[in-house]
């Protein structure tokens, strides 16, 4: 499945390159959900996520502009 064929809400995961965030992303992908991850930098972990159809946004939680970019199109908060 590709990002282009996925529909529905976008799930934003911060810390997506870590163990917990990565596990959450993989679980959502199994359910054919659209996943966007906020990452600190492009690196091999981020590249691996892209091969799984995770959209990545480079940014920092302390930078409001990068949070805005990451949140673009995310309409439904989930906990």
Q: What is the pTM of this model?
A: 0.84
d(CA 37, CA 56): 5
pLDDT for 40 equals 93
Domains of the chain, by residue range, sit at 3-71
Whether the CB-CB separation of 74 and 36 falls below 8 Å is answered with yes
Q: Thinking of the domain 3-71, which architecture would CATH place it in? A: 3-Layer(aba) Sandwich (3.40)
Q: Residue 38 burial (CB < 10 Å; 0-12/13-18/19+)?
A: buried
d(CA 10, CA 34): 5
Q: What confidence tens digit (pLDDT) does each residue in 21-73 have? A: 999 999 999 999 999 999 999 999 999 998 999 999 999 999 999 999 999 99
């Amino acid at each position: 499945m590709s990002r282009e064929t996925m529909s529905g809400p976008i799930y934003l995961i911060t810390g997506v390159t870590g163990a917990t965030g990565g596990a959450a992303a993989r679980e959502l992908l199994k359910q054919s959900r659209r996943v966007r991850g906020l990452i600190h930098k492009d690196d091999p972990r981020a590249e691996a996520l892209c091969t799984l159809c995770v959209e990545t946004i480079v940014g920092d939680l302390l930078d409001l502009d990068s949070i805005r970019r990451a949140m673009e199109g995310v309409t439904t908060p989930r906990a």
